[in-house]
Amino acid sequence: MEPSLDSDEGNMDNCEPEQRLEAFISRFNSELRKQRQEHIITNEDLKASSQGSSSGGLPAVYIYCANTLQYSFASHLSMGFHRKGIYASANSNETLDVMEGASASVVVFSKNYLSSPSCLDKLVRVLQCRRKSGQLVVPVFYDVSPSNVEVQEQESVDRISALQELREFTGYQFREGCSECELVEEIVKDVYEKLLPAEQIGISLRLLEIEHLLCKQPWGIRRLGIWGMPGIGKTTLAKAVFDQISGGYEAFFFIKHFDKAFNEKGLHCLLEEHFGNILMDLPRVCSSITRPSFPGDILSKKRTLVVLDDVQNPLVAESFLGGFHWFGPGSLIIITSRDKQVFRHCQINHVYEVQSLNENEALQLFSHHAIGENIREKKFMKLSMEVIDYASGNPLALSYYGKELKGKKLSEMRTTFLKHKLRTPYKIQDLFKRSYEALNDSEKNIFLDIACFFKGENVDYVMQLLEGCGFLPHIGIDVLVEKCLVTISENRVKMHRIIQDFGREIINGEVVQIERRRRLWEPWTIKFLLEDDKLKANVKSTYTRPLGTVDIEGIFLDASNLSFDVKSGAFKHMLSLRFLKIYCSSYEKDSRVLLPKGLDSLPYELRLLHWENYPLKSLPQKFDPCHLVELNLSYSQLQKLWGGTKNLKMLKVVRLCHSQQLTDINDLCKAQDLELLDLQGCTQLQSFPAMGQLRLLRVVNLSGCTEIRSFPEVSPNIKELHLQGTGIRELPVSTVTLSSQVKLNRELSNLLTEFPGVSDVINHERLTSLIKPVSANQHLGKLVRLNMKDCVHLTSLPDMADLELLQVLDLSGCSNLNDIQGFPRNLEELYLAGTAIKEFPQLPLSLEILNAHGCVSLISIPIGFEQLPRYYTFSNCFGLSEKVVNIFVKNALTNVERLAREYHQQQKLNKSLAFSFIGPSPAGENLTFDMQPGSSVIIQLGSSWRDTLGVAVLVQVTFSKDYCEASGGFNVTCVCRWKDKDYVSHKREKDFHCWPPEEEGVSKDHTFVFCDLDIHPGACEENDTGILADLVVFEFFTVNKQKKLLDESCTVTKCGVYVITAADRDTSPNMTPSFDYLQELSDNDARNVYDGLDEDERTLFLYIACLFNDEEAYLLAPLSNGLEISSGIKILTDKSLIHISPYGVLVREGLLQKIGMEMINRRRQAQALTNLADIAGVDSRKWDNNANMIENLPHSFKMHSSMCLALKKLVDRVMKIFPEIEAARPGSSTAIQPLNEA
């Protein structure tokens, strides 16, 4: 309870400020003494709290202790619970029924407690409550241990039983030297989490994020906003922050529902209520309490924590806080609000957005409320996931639905949840009602349009339509975002499912009659309205508007699986209709929305006309599209749009794609504001009208218009031009090259701009007269993307250097294109797959992607680039010579290494920098880069491995004749593995995409080169213990897009790794031609060489084998500290057990797989038999072979010796073929043959 300070307040209004302050302090101290005498919380208060706890209110805790601890330890414990919002009392004289209503009891055992009969009697009653109501009981052993809680023989049976039972509970123990404060904090935290487990779900991570946000602010008066949608947990999070840090402040308070409290109590009372308790410790201060400056002098030296929860009106919060200047250094002001503009007005720049619960957290919270424990049964899991998906991580909604479904059968749960989905519960509606009512009319319309029609749509598309309605969406959508009613993500307007249903409930709740609802989206209601001429009778309207459909503003009909005829006058009376959309979300379902009697008219107010599969040859002649913003009649039967000239002043987007009967679009030339025109697949369209005068036109798509044979005349401001599959034969020079006069004009204009003082020397008027106005309407100087894919009649292209803004040029499939004079100078992506090009002109330095797949006539490749990333595809370019490929890869790797070092020195190195090359493998073995047979290699990084910037991996993939191109292409998965010095395995993995889905397959081996800055041990932040022996394995697999291994028709047959370091190296990627490999050892020779090694050398060799084969190394002795790894590797190299290439690659893959695994398995077998001997109690060191070992086993083991010998023979046979099975691919036929032979 807070002290009551309101008495006699009215009599003090005419007193001097000093007298009023003295009276206030006097009243405060008097009230405080009075409440201390009553132990602050009276029995009546506690009883009410307990009853509230049992009925779902705040929890209450009783503390039982000896009288000697009541005003010390128990008092501290009670205050700790108070700070958490839990009522607590020590040694109150409560009745049994009140005790039963408490949520928990804390029993503090001490020496005096055990000797007090009254304390023991209360203990008996506590356990009775526990048995009856399941009350939480927490024992605390204060200066005694659980073993000291002895049962006296003279005690009653009930006391003895109670003490014995309490000793078995998990409790807390306070010993000498232990911090009492820490113990209290631990007990309070534990009890709080057990009583309110739902409050803790997902809270820890969010507290840590807030802590990081606070740490970014300088010392002084720190301010933090907590922002999020209603029900997301802002108050819970703010209270958790308050509970965690309030102990470190001299003054602190938390005002829940601040605006409500302010309106009910006023500024004067709130200041007295929350700052008044500071005054009792201060000398007399002459100040006024009628303004926020009242506590100014008082608080200016105090660290204060203030939390204002659920602030709606920023002006109210400002008046209360008084501009922050009267808080002391180190103070913290926290404001929670659902409206982001509150933080701007209150000068709060650091705002934490509370995110929705993730799936696991949401499931945990819903389970707690619906079932009381984690859901494990599958029958509940499906429904639970439906609820979680619907609630989208909103804690309040999850809690509400959980409580509503609790205690019901599964069928009843489904019915109840469906009912709540169909009609949003009032409790959920109330969450958002306040935010909605705070919107103006325009913002309300925007909100309802998004909820009913535009959730998930592109934000630019939505704004364009709403702007056409006069709603100022640039402002309105920002307001909705700040009020947490919508979000903008990935350039799309997104809305929480619950908020969407709330908005739609507003529409459905306006009137009973369907035809009077302003927005319609349910298919059955729209079908009823458009199909049936007779309005439903005997339905009394609750809304006083004229009969008819005049109020309808929007219709969105998903016609999937619908078949009906629309009456000709269906839209005649819809005078307010702004949006009409008839579409199919699923083309797998049969739909048929026809107009057998034609269409009389369309509404004058239409902004959006979207009718897929429109069945008529033209739009109604009476239709006036003067307000139309978007016209989308895809897949229609249109031959022309309409007859005569129409007013198209607001038309911005026209989509008529795949209207295969369309022949005439001349009327669109009148649409001066047209920005996008999509005519893709209009196969009967023979001509494209001149549209050079449409200055706002940015995108034109004529792909698939096979009858278009000449390059279209379009706006000079065009940015995207799609001409794929057209009959165009040439690209006019005038469209891509500036005339000399235009170039001169540009140079003179630049001269005047750069040297404004030139007019002092040269007559300014004479100079400007030289700049003649030359028309450049045909020039596409602002073009960004040009798509001429599959223009099979195109044979050559002029120099396009003047297209300075062109970034993407797609000429794939232009099978007769054999000459290109020049590329745009700032081009980033170039697609030439399937062209007849023989050699390239100079490639622009800006180029990032070059795809020349299937250019069989190509014989040369330009070399050199100045920046990353770079992606080159020359697959199936079989005209490229071995020399060309080698030189290109050599220079590419040199450039990659140089650029990586430059970026590193400039601190611009990032993981997005990459390089890739795909091309046919050279027929010979004379490569300038090192690749070893097999699909894995080992490299020794050296002691400076932390300086690694990245790696270049080289992989040869072999394709068999029966290789079938998988949809989506295939990937090469690279796995980098190593062990740290504690023998713990680590790995990093990366998928490299190798084949675009639209490209044809291959028939020969191809080499893939990838550069990556992330797949190496140096990029692993957790790798603090180093790399054992500095050895790292790289493995490569071919997988499909589902990451499943491909069969033998597509396999990695060679691979290599090149390490890019921060320091310059002596060697370069241009190594000398491939070195001569040492002669391979036979298996027997290798075994003999291995047997001649010392123990350290054997261990090193076997470790390399373990690492190579991804085996655990627990059977091996630790690598000797005295063994120099480099010298050990040299010894193994000299003995031909391994081999080192100039790249540091350890080869002899077959030897490592076969001999190494054989030695490891031999050790395993010996270890297993040694363990068997240890179990039998036999000294295995006396045996010289395994058979002798079995013969020396005790009788109980010898009786099974024949079985053991048979098993050993079987194991030996398996071990002989094990390396071959290990080496074989999973699911391949090569693994079957060794098994059959065995």
Q: Is residue 1216 part of a domain?
A: no
Region 847-858 average pLDDT: 91
| pLDDT value, residue 253 | 86
| pLDDT value, residue 1151 | 57
- Co-location of 224 and 81 in the same domain: no
CATH number for the domain harbouring residue 240: 3.40.50.300
Region 427-432 average pLDDT: 88
- Co-location of 956 and 930 in the same domain: yes
Q: What residue numbers bound the domain in which 948 lies?
A: 854-1067
| pLDDT value, residue 440 | 95
Measuring CA to CA, which residue among 966, 948, 1131, 1116 is closest to residue 1034? Answer: 948
| pLDDT value, residue 928 | 53
Are β-strands 948-959 and 1006-1012 bridged in parallel, bridged antiparallel, or unpaired?
Answer: antiparallel
Local confidence band at 908 (pLDDT 50, 70, 90 cut-offs): low
pLDDT in tens, 121-166: 888 888 888 888 778 889 988 878 777 776 666 667 788 888 878 7
Local confidence band at 7 (pLDDT 50, 70, 90 cut-offs): very low
> Which of 379-383, 494-498, 607-611, 788-792 comes out lowest in average pLDDT?
379-383
Task: Name the 3-class secondary structure at 819.
Answer: strand
Measuring CA to CA, which residue among 1149, 1093, 856, 817 is closest to residue 1141? Answer: 1149
Region 491-495 average pLDDT: 95
CA distance 943 to 722: 55
| Number of domains, the chain | 7
Residues 6+ apart with CB under 8 A from 1091: none
Region 90-106 average pLDDT: 77
Q: Is residue 276 part of a domain?
A: yes
DSSP secondary structure code for residue 556 in this structure: E
pLDDT in tens, 767-811: 445 444 434 446 788 999 999 999 999 999 999 988 989 999 999
Region 467-473 average pLDDT: 94
Region 479-508 average pLDDT: 94
- Co-location of 718 and 826 in the same domain: yes
| pLDDT value, residue 1193 | 46
| pLDDT value, residue 1083 | 64
What are the DSSP calls for 319-357, one per residue? HHHGGGTTSPTT-EEEEEES-THHHHHTT---EEEPPPP
- Co-location of 165 and 225 in the same domain: no
- Co-location of 824 and 932 in the same domain: no
pLDDT in tens, 284-311: 333 333 334 445 555 566 788 999 999 9
Say if residue 406's pLDDT is above 80: yes
Say if residue 611's pLDDT is above 70: yes
Q: Is residue 1231 part of a domain?
A: no
**8 Å CB contact between 965 and 1178:** no
Local confidence band at 55 (pLDDT 50, 70, 90 cut-offs): very low
Region 96-110 average pLDDT: 81
Say if residue 753's pLDDT is above 60: no
| pLDDT value, residue 52 | 42
| 0.75 exceeded by pTM | no
What amino acid is encoded at 519 in this protein?
R
| pLDDT value, residue 102 | 83
CA distance 383 to 389: 10
pLDDT in tens, 262-291: 888 887 788 777 766 554 444 433 333 333
Q: Is residue 935 part of a domain?
A: yes
Say if residue 734's pLDDT is above 50: yes
Local confidence band at 944 (pLDDT 50, 70, 90 cut-offs): low
- Co-location of 646 and 744 in the same domain: no
**8 Å CB contact between 317 and 292:** no
- Answer with the one of 847, 876, 893 that is the final residue of a domain: 847
Mean pLDDT, the chain, whole residue set: 77
pLDDT in tens, 1098-1141: 777 777 777 766 655 444 555 554 456 667 777 877 877 777 66
Local confidence band at 652 (pLDDT 50, 70, 90 cut-offs): very high
| pLDDT value, residue 324 | 61
- DSSP alpha helix (H) spans, 375-522: 378-391, 395-405, 410-422, 426-437, 441-449, 459-468, 473-482, 497-510
DSSP secondary structure code for residue 1235 in this structure: H
| pLDDT value, residue 1029 | 75
The percentage of the chain sitting over the pLDDT mark of 90, rounded to a whole number, equals 28
Three-class HEC string of 634-680? CCCCCCCCCCCCCCCCCCCEEECCCCCCCCCCHHHHHCCCCCEEECC
CA distance 465 to 497: 22
DSSP secondary structure code for residue 1005 in this structure: -
Say if residue 1178's pLDDT is above 60: no
Region 1211-1238 average pLDDT: 56
Local confidence band at 535 (pLDDT 50, 70, 90 cut-offs): very low
Say if residue 868's pLDDT is above 60: yes
Say if residue 619's pLDDT is above 90: yes
| pLDDT value, residue 845 | 85
CA distance 726 to 301: 79
CA distance 1194 to 1178: 8
- Co-location of 99 and 161 in the same domain: yes
- Answer with the one of 822, 847, 872 that is the final residue of a domain: 847
| pLDDT value, residue 294 | 47
Write out the two tokens for 502: 């709330």
Q: Which of 467-481, 883-897, 1210-1224 has the highest mean pLDDT?
A: 467-481
| pLDDT value, residue 992 | 86
Say if residue 579's pLDDT is above 60: yes
Region 810-836 average pLDDT: 93
Task: Give 271 or 1191, the one with higher predicted confidence.
Answer: 271
Q: Is residue 385 part of a domain?
A: yes
- Co-location of 838 and 865 in the same domain: no
Q: Which of 363-372, 441-450, 726-735, 1018-1027 has the highest mean pLDDT?
A: 441-450
| pLDDT value, residue 3 | 39
Region 225-239 average pLDDT: 93
What are the residues facing 136 on neighbouring strands? 104
The percentage of the chain sitting over the pLDDT mark of 70, rounded to a whole number, equals 71
- Co-location of 999 and 1020 in the same domain: yes
Say if residue 184's pLDDT is above 70: yes
Region 450-460 average pLDDT: 96
| pLDDT value, residue 285 | 38
Local confidence band at 1020 (pLDDT 50, 70, 90 cut-offs): low
Phi, psi values for residue 337, rounded to 5°: -160, 155
Say if residue 635's pLDDT is above 80: yes
What are the DSSP calls for 1168-1211, one per residue? HHHHHHHHHT--GGG-SSHHHHHHTS-HHHHTTHHHHHHHHHHH
- Answer with the one of 170, 195, 220 that is the final residue of a domain: 195
CATH number for the domain harbouring residue 87: 3.40.50.10140
- Co-location of 707 and 672 in the same domain: no
Measuring CA to CA, which residue among 207, 196, 197, 292 is closest to residue 244? Answer: 207
Q: What DSSP element (H or E) covers 808?
A: strand 808-810
Q: Is residue 562 part of a domain?
A: yes
Measuring CA to CA, which residue among 1109, 1152, 1144, 1111 is closest to residue 1125? Answer: 1144
**914 HSE (CA, 13 A, CB side):** 17
Q: Residue for token digits 């390399």?
A: 1104
Q: Is residue 22 part of a domain?
A: no
DSSP secondary structure code for residue 965 in this structure: P
| pLDDT value, residue 376 | 57
Q: Is residue 872 part of a domain?
A: yes
| pLDDT value, residue 1169 | 56
| pLDDT value, residue 287 | 35
| pLDDT value, residue 754 | 53
- Co-location of 552 and 646 in the same domain: yes
Q: What DSSP element (H or E) covers 117?
A: helix 117-133
Local confidence band at 971 (pLDDT 50, 70, 90 cut-offs): confident
Measuring CA to CA, which residue among 856, 916, 914 is closest to residue 889? Answer: 916
Measured CA distances, 144 to 101, 176, 1113 (Å):
30, 10, 50
Cis-peptide, bond into residue 117, ω within 30° of zero: no
**8 Å CB contact between 621 and 645:** no
Measuring CA to CA, which residue among 1082, 1074, 1125 is closest to residue 1104? Answer: 1125
CA distance 320 to 117: 53
Local confidence band at 361 (pLDDT 50, 70, 90 cut-offs): confident
- Co-location of 135 and 255 in the same domain: no
Local confidence band at 650 (pLDDT 50, 70, 90 cut-offs): very high
Are β-strands 915-920 and 870-873 bridged in parallel, bridged antiparallel, or unpaired?
Answer: parallel
Task: Name the 3-class secondary structure at 228.
Answer: coil
What are the residues facing 932 on neighbouring strands? 1055
Task: Name the 3-class secondary structure at 1074.
Answer: coil
